[in-house]
Each structure stands twice: as C-alpha cells, then as structure tokens.
Amino acid sequence: MKTNRIVTGAVAAVVLMLGTLFTPARGGPAAPTGNAVTAWNQIAVTTLTGLPGPAGGAPPAAQIHVGMVQGAVYDAVNAIEPKHHRPYLLNKRFSATASEDAAVATAAYGVLREIVATVPNLSDTARATLLQSLLTQYQDSLAGVANGPFKRQGIAAGNAAAQAMNAARRDDGRFGPSQWVPNRDPGHWWPLTDPTTGALILDPTPWVGGVRPFLLQTSSQFRTPGPNALSSTAWAKDFNEVKALGAVNSSVRTPEQTYIARWWQSTPAASWNAVARDLAVRNGLGIGDTARLLAMENLSGADAAINCWNDKYYWDFWRPWNAIPRADEDGNPATEPDPGWTALITAPYPEHPSGHMCLDGAHTRVLRMFFGDVIEGGYRITSGSTLLLPTDERTRSFGSFSQALAEIVEARIWAGLHYRAADVQGEALGQNVADYMAAHYFQPVGQAH
C-alpha cells in the first residue's frame, strides 16, 4: 500500500471508528496522586531532555529516546494486565499478581540506563552523575514495593521489556551520519555562522531522519507535498508574511505575538508529556491505560520526528534568513530582497517541514483519542523556553488541543522560523503518523488488526 504522501482520510476514519476504545470512563474526580507510570515518565523526560544537544538532548532525538522508555513501560505493564492489549515488542505473559510498580520502574530504568550509558558526546563525569541519579531513583521506587514473589515477578517483567527494547534499538541509526548535502543554490538551506568562532552552526542531531522507525514502514512513509515552488503566488504570500511578521525588529508584530513566539520555544516532548500526565490523573486512568497513552503518544512522536527530519533533509529548503536577503535569486517578481533581514529566532537545520509542528501534531492527535479535543476545565502548559524574560508568565492555559495547534502555527511565523506551508504540512505529518499508529498498534487482544 502506498503511504508516502499526506493522506489522512482513510486512516482518520479508522481512528474515529476506534475512538471509544481510546476514551477513558468519565467518573468522579480522581485523586491527584499519579502512579508509577507518570512518575517514571517525568523522570525519563527530565533526564533525556536534559542531555546536551549532541548527546541526544535536542528535541527530535530526545523524543526518540522517550519513545523507547514508554514503549518498554507499556510492554511491562501489558504483560501483567489481565485485560491486555497487543504488545509492542514483548510477546510474553507474566503473572497477573506481579507488582506493576516494580515492572514499570524496572522497565524505565533499564532503558534509561542503557541510553545514558551509550550516548556519545557526554563527559565521563556527567554520565556517572546521571547513572547514579537514575540508580538512586530506581532503588527508591523498589523500596516502596513489599518484598516477596510479586515484587520479583514485576522486576522480571520490567527486565524482559527493557531487554526487548534495548535489543530492538541496537544499530537503529541513532548517532549515525549527517543527512545534509551542502548546496548553495537558491531554495536550499545554508547554516548560519557563529560570530565568535566563524564556524557553521549545524544541527546537533542531523542523523534523526536516518533512524529506523518504531511504527512506520519507512522513515519517509509520510513524505510531505513539499515547499511551494519559488515561482508561485503561494511562495510569495508565505515569504512576505514571514518577512513582515518574523523580523527581529518587526513593526507589525505585536508585543503579545513576540511573547508567544518566544514562549513556544520549548521542547514538545516535555510540554505534551506533562499535559498527558495531568490529564491521566484528572481522568482517573489506571496504570495500564496510562502506560498505553504514553506509549502511543511517544512512539508516535518518535516516528513523527524521524519522518520529519527525513523530510527536512530531503527538501533542504531555505530558512527565511536565507531566502529574504537573496530574494532577487528566486525568480519571483512578487518577492523583494532585504539584505539586512534577521529573524526573531533561528534554528540550525532546514526549514521544511516544521519540526515543532510534526511533534505537536502527533502528540495532540493521541491526546484527542483519549480525552477529546475540548478539555473541561482546560489544561496548563509551563514553557521551558530560555528566551523568556524573567517577568514573562511561564504557565498558560488552553481550552482545547486545536486552540494550541492553531497558535503554534502562527508562533513559528512570528518567530521568523517558518513559512506557513511548513507549519501546516508538519502538523499533518504528525497527525498521519499517529493515525497510522492507531490503525496498526495497541488494539485490545482479539480485535481485528
């Protein structure tokens, strides 16, 4: 079946058909206690997004690693749950009396330990510190589980799930060669130069698009339609929009738009996992449903990152700060060059499609499957952006996922990072990955595949 273009209809219909299976019961308010799955998700996200960029801490690479952790956690819990779903990797059952808390902690720790122990570009001191921190948190988790056969069975399930994930991801393309082929022609991306050293500022994880996917058949399965032709009216419209709104000294961008552009300069995996944890608790999801939610969300996010970065280096499209000073080379009479144009915010990799939107599209698609689009009482996101001022509000509320997505599309333009086509196509790419996941993975046992 050909699936290498943006095609949502058929798969989206499957997701709608399955929607009730992904929606938790709406009972009374749940006590905000969380569980082992939410606790270890927070440990994983904090650890993995805190790594240096070249060591896998950059957003797309961190998303791949969070996906590994949550896939293993899901398999560990699913191997114990009496009413279980199809496993991701672990085709083995364990006693229903096994400790799920011990299984979760062991699975998460086993994958996190392997990642931290093997990533390159991490100093010996930093590696040792992180490994000790993880060990301490693991020991603390196990200390809360009563000793006995149930604990031992849970540890065995967690170890089996971690080993399956670690084995499956060996030699998967992580930290492989760069995908970039330098090209100075009009329409192609060129990196900025460090003003201090004169060196090119390059993508810290340019290998992401070459990683073997978790769910998709290929890393380019949902190839986007691509950037607008430089000769087109659509290109001129997108060009002039970002030229006016995305400049560092824009006279038409409002102070609120500037704040929002900076506010969204945070890591999607951190933002949307925090939202998922909160909504899981508020909706009373049990440990099995929480593990499934976070596995679906983060494995979709991982493959969205892989497909997105594959797309970025396939199209190799120029950023606004490449295109606007060189507009006299694009062959379009409706674009005018501005030699001194500078974006509000920059990024070290090709423009199309938007990486942020690829991840946002995947995460929110899965969250909608579980909770719907409009969230009663809303939800809050705390930005981790380093570009906010000390007086800026870091935590904001949203009433729906579509509201947030619509704002991010605009925010990437206000930042001077993207043309509208890259945002729209990036969002669709992420949604397509999540739809494909829902149609092919994580169904209840006995349901037609």
Residue 32's pLDDT band, with cuts at 50, 70 and 90, is: very low
Could you tell me whether strands 395-400 and 374-382 are parallel, antiparallel, or unpaired per DSSP bridges?
antiparallel
Instruction: Categorize the per-residue pLDDT at 34 as very low, low, confident or very high, splitting at 50, 70 and 90.
Output: confident
Is cis: bond before 59, omega within 30 of 0? no
pLDDT at 115 exceeding the cut of 80: yes
Q: Above 90 in pLDDT, residue 18?
A: no
Q: What is the pLDDT of residue 448?
A: 57
Distance between CA atoms of residues 440 and 321, nearest Å: 41
Task: Return d(Cα 183, Cα 191) in angstroms, integer.
Answer: 11
pLDDT in tens, 298-323: 999 999 999 999 999 999 999 999 99
What's this model's pTM, rounded to 2 decimal places? Answer: 0.93
- In this prediction, residues 130-156 reach a mean pLDDT of 98
Residue 19 pLDDT exceeds 60: no
Domains along the chain with CATH numbers: 29-440 (1.10.606.20)
Quick one: pLDDT band at residue 133, thresholds 50, 70, 90?
Answer: very high
Q: Where are the alpha helices (DSSP H) in 226-352?
A: 233-245, 255-263, 268-282, 287-315, 320-323
C-alpha distances in angstroms, 326 versus 332, 344, 416? Answer: 11, 18, 16
Residues of the chain with pLDDT > 70: what percent? Answer: 92
Q: Is the pLDDT of residue 2 over 60?
A: no
**Averaged pLDDT for residues 328-350:** 98
Q: What pLDDT, on the 0 to 100 scale, is given for residue 447?
A: 66
Q: Which backbone phi and psi does 375 adopt, to 5 degrees?
A: -105, 120
Are 37 and 73 in contact, with CB atoms under 8 Å apart? yes
Q: Which two tokens stand for residue 398?
A: 């949203």
13: pLDDT strictly greater than 90: no
Q: Which of 280, 281, 289 is nearest to 74 (CA)?
A: 289
